[in-house]
Amino acid sequence: MDRRKFIFSVSMIPVVSMLKPISTGLENILSINKRKSKMSKFELPPLPYAYDALEPYIDKQTMEIHHDKHHAAYVANFNKALEGTGAEGKSFEEIFKNVSKYPAAVKNNGGGVFNHSFFWTIMKKNGGGEPTGPVADAIKASFGSFADFKSKFSTAATTRFGSGWAWLIVNKGKLEVISTPNQDNPLMDTAETKGTPILLIDVWEHAYYLKYQNRRPEYVENFFNVINWDEVNKLYLAAKS
What is the rounded CA–CA span in Å between residue 8 and residue 64? 26
- Give, for 169, the enclosing helix (H) or strand (E): strand 164-171
Question: What does the DSSP assignment read for 113-149?
Answer: HHHHHHHHHTB-TT--S---SHHHHHHHHHHSSHHHH
* CA 146 – CA 135 distance, rounded (Å): 10
Helices first, then strands: H and E counts in the chain: 10, 3
User: Does residue 191 come out as left (phi exceeding 0), alpha (psi in the -120 to 50 range) or beta?
Assistant: beta
Q: Are strands 196-202 and 174-181 parallel, antiparallel or unpaired?
A: unpaired
Provide the whole-model pTM: 0.86
Q: Is the dihedral of CA 199, 186, 10, 22 positive or negative?
A: negative
Amino acid type, 208:
Y
The answer for 86, left when phi > 0, alpha when psi is -120 to 50, beta otherwise, is left
pLDDT score, position 93: 85
Q: What are phi and psi of 125, to 5 degrees?
A: -65, 140
Q: Is residue 227 within 8 Å of residue 166, measured between CB atoms?
A: no
Q: Compute the distance between CA of residue 178 and CA of residue 222 in angstroms, rounded to an integer.
A: 19
Given this model, what pLDDT does residue 91 score? 84
How many Å apart are CA 200 and CA 207, to the nearest integer?
13
pLDDT of residue 39: 53
**pLDDT averaged per 10 residues, the chain (length 241):** 42 29 34 47 92 98 98 97 92 91 97 95 96 97 98 98 97 96 97 96 98 98 98 92 78
Q: What is the pLDDT of residue 70?
A: 97
pLDDT at 179: 98
